[in-house]
Amino acid sequence: MTVLSKISKKEIINELDNILSGVSLDRGNLLCVLESLVGKFGYLNDTMAVEVGRRFSMDPNEVYSVASFYAFLPVKKSGKYKIRVCRTISCKLKNADGIVKAIEEEIGVKFGNTTKDMRFTLERANCLGMCDKAPAMLINDKVYTELTPEKAKEIIKSYKNK
Amino acid sequence: MPAAGFILEKIKQGEALKKAFEINRAEITDIIKDSGLKGRGGAGFPTGLKMYLCGAAADTVKYVVCNADEGEPGTFKDRVILETIPEKVFEGMTITAYVIGSREGIVYLRGEYAYLKSELENVLKEMRKNNMLGENILGKGFSFDIRIALGAGAYVCGEETALIESLEGKRGEAKNKPPFPVSSGLFGHPTLVSNVETFCNIPHIVDKGSLWFKNMGSGKSTGTKLISVSGDVKKPGVYEITFGMKVKDLLKLAGAEETKAVDIGGASGIIIPELQFEREISFEDIPTGGSIIVFDKTRKMADIMENFMEFFLDESCGQCTPCREGTKYFVDAVEKIKNRKITEQDLKNLRDISDCMKITSKCGLGQASTNAFISILDNFKDELLS
């Protein structure tokens, strides 16, 4: 995945061809295709909704409607790395707020926002199922547990040059 | 504790499946029915009955779906199962498929557990190689395969009709029941949806019989339960208990000290004070999908309420009014409590609204969303009003 300020239609079409080479155009595969696009580009935009709709014989609005339902299918511009800090009670008891604060310091934007270079988006997530190793966060698909503010900062640093 | 712990132990793969192939389908359904096994995801529907209903449905296409959308706050036992003994889950699904006559199984894995997907697919590949999945399994003429579908971060998709919508490539909005999935589920075909842990029990019951299973537990709660313990304890983790264990005994095992309150069942569960730690974890007393969160004496109940109500406000899908508006109303109420502006009349109104949400919300999310709030109100009212 690359950091892209603007995604061209050609890139989207190429990627979609790529994804669909091994996938049939059944509606049941829609989520999996949208997940792959998010994996590649970091979020879904209008062109993607139109192109996916064309392939699946769906109205682009319906594609958008489905995507917008799911927290992990962002429909607005979002960073290459999505940092999702668990906000639910077991993590909260173990200083999840302190983790968010440390990350905000490290990337220079507040929770809910994306860095100017489109590298990081900081979000809160509901229970990640890591309560025995709280506090926890996800960076894209990777999970980090038993965090301390210092540890969280170190992890973020390691993503700055990726 | 787990005198009878077996769920997380490895088994000789394929043994139970071989045994199942030697028994006729109706007999396996009877064994599961007789064992008293109930769904381990929280709702506790009798698994044998589900098998019977789905098996009896007349259709050439049927699905077996494993609900691995473990999203209830404080629950992580399905993650541990999938990390340690996924092959047992798949074998349980295969036996189930054989019984009901299904050729396709799907594991709906929550998006938060995406990192487990490739390893699970490796296990499936290995099982295909050993002819435990795929065409003509173990040469017995039965064909079945399993694929993994990834969710995308929506708690409500743990509700079975919402999960099915999501598998169909739609918004994960719950549907009215009936029809139930066992008669009309995925793409309109009969579908048996069960929790990860439930499928894990099936190979054991087929192998050792229903009597062995019934001998564990208490009353109508047979077998064991995996409990995820977190919060203010020295030893957080997954504990396998036999049903009927007292809350206080579990607290002791997990190394809880100076405990003020215990949440049983996550955000949609209940919160009990010390006086009730004698109560039992079972379908008859306090049922749970497996979440126990412990709070020590330094914790404020209003903070817990706030966290849970914000959770529901965030996760409510918004399609039905009682849940969409009700969760917002309760978030506002917590703020009032925290600002010491709540009145007795407010609390009375909240109870009425909670009752209304319970009756009129479309799915379990809205129906259960005020449980924690109301139980805190019942048990810690003085603290809230002080």
User: Three-state secondary structure along chain B?
Assistant: CCCCCCCCCCCCCCHHHHHHHHCCHHHHHHHHHHHCCECCCCCCCEHHHHHHHHHHCCCCCCEEEEEECCCCCCCCHHHHHHHHCHHHHHHHHHHHHHHHCCCEEEEEECHHHHHHHHHHHHHHHHHHHCCCCECCHHHCCCCEEEEEEECCCCHHHHCHHHHHHHHCCCCCCCCCCCCCCCCCCHHHCCEEEEEHHHHHHHHHHHHHCHHHHHCCEECCEECEEEEEEEECCCCCEEEEEECCCEHHHHHHHHCCCCEEEEEECHHHCEEEEHHHCCCEECCCCECCCCEEEEEECCCCHHHHHHHHHHHHHHHCCCCCHHHHHHHHHHHHHHHHHHCCCCCHHHHHHHHHHHHHHHHHCCCHHHHHCCHHHHHHHHHHHHHHHC
* CATH architecture, domain defined by B15-215: 3-Layer(aba) Sandwich (3.40)
Average pLDDT over residues B10-29: 95
Angstrom distance (rounded) from CA B320 to CA B86: 36
pLDDT at A2 over 50: no
Share of chain A above pLDDT 70, in %: 97
For an interface test with B, the pick among A59, A89, A121 (most B C-beta atoms closer than 10 Å) comes out as: A89
Q: How far is Cα B239 from Cα B197, in angstroms, rounded to an integer?
A: 13
A158: Cβ contacts below 8 Å, ≥ 6 apart: none
- Whole-angstrom distance, CA of residue B231 vs CA of residue B264: 12
- The whole-number pLDDT of residue B4 equals 54
Report whether pLDDT(A12) > 50.
yes
Overall fold of domain B218-296: Ubiquitin-like (UB roll) (3.10.20)
Q: How many CB pairs under 8 A join A and B?
A: 127
pLDDT at res. A51: 97
The predicted-structure confidence for B105-154, as pLDDT tens digits, reads as follows: 999 999 999 999 999 999 999 999 999 999 999 999 999 999 999 999 99
- Indicate if the pLDDT at residue B29 is higher than 60: yes
Nearest chain B CA: its distance from A132 CA (Å): 5
Tell me the nearest-neighbour CA distance from A36 into chain B, angstroms: 11
What is d(CA B17, CA B35) in angstroms, rounded to the nearest whole number? 18
Query: How many angstroms separate the CA atoms of B85 and B292, rounded?
Result: 22
pLDDT for the residue A1: 44
Does the structure's ipTM exceed the value 0.90? yes
B201 residue type, one letter: N
- Evaluated on CA atoms B254, B260, B265, B268, the torsion sign reads negative
State how far residue B154 is from chain A, nearest Cα, in angstroms.
6
Give the mean model confidence (pLDDT) for residues A63-74: 96
> Which of B169, B230, B236 is closest, CB to CB, to A66?
B169
Q: Is the pLDDT of residue A24 over 50?
A: yes
CB contact under 8 A, B76 and A129: yes
Residues B177-236 have pLDDT tens digits of 999 999 999 999 999 999 999 999 999 999 999 999 999 998 899 999 999 999 999 999
The Cα B316–Cα B369 span in angstroms is 9
The pLDDT value given to residue B151: 96
Classify domain A81-160 at the CATH superfamily level: Glutaredoxin (3.40.30.10)
Query: Does residue B3 surpass a pLDDT of 90?
Result: no
A72 in contact with B, Cβ within 8 Å: yes
Dump pLDDT digits (tens) for B291-340.
Answer: 999 999 999 999 999 999 999 999 999 999 999 999 999 999 999 999 99
CB contact under 8 A, B315 and A129: no
Instruction: For chain A, give every domain's residue range.
Output: 9-69, 81-160
What CATH number matches the domain at B301-385, 3.20.20.140, 1.10.10.10, 1.20.1440.230, 1.10.3720.10? 1.20.1440.230
> Nearest CB to A89: which of B78, B166, B307?
B307
The residue extents of the domains of chain B are 15-215, 218-296, 301-385
Nearest CA in chain A to B149: A32
B36: how many CB neighbours lie within 10 A of its CB? 20
A73 touches chain B (CB under 8 A): yes
- CA distance linking residue B370 with residue B358, whole number of Å: 8
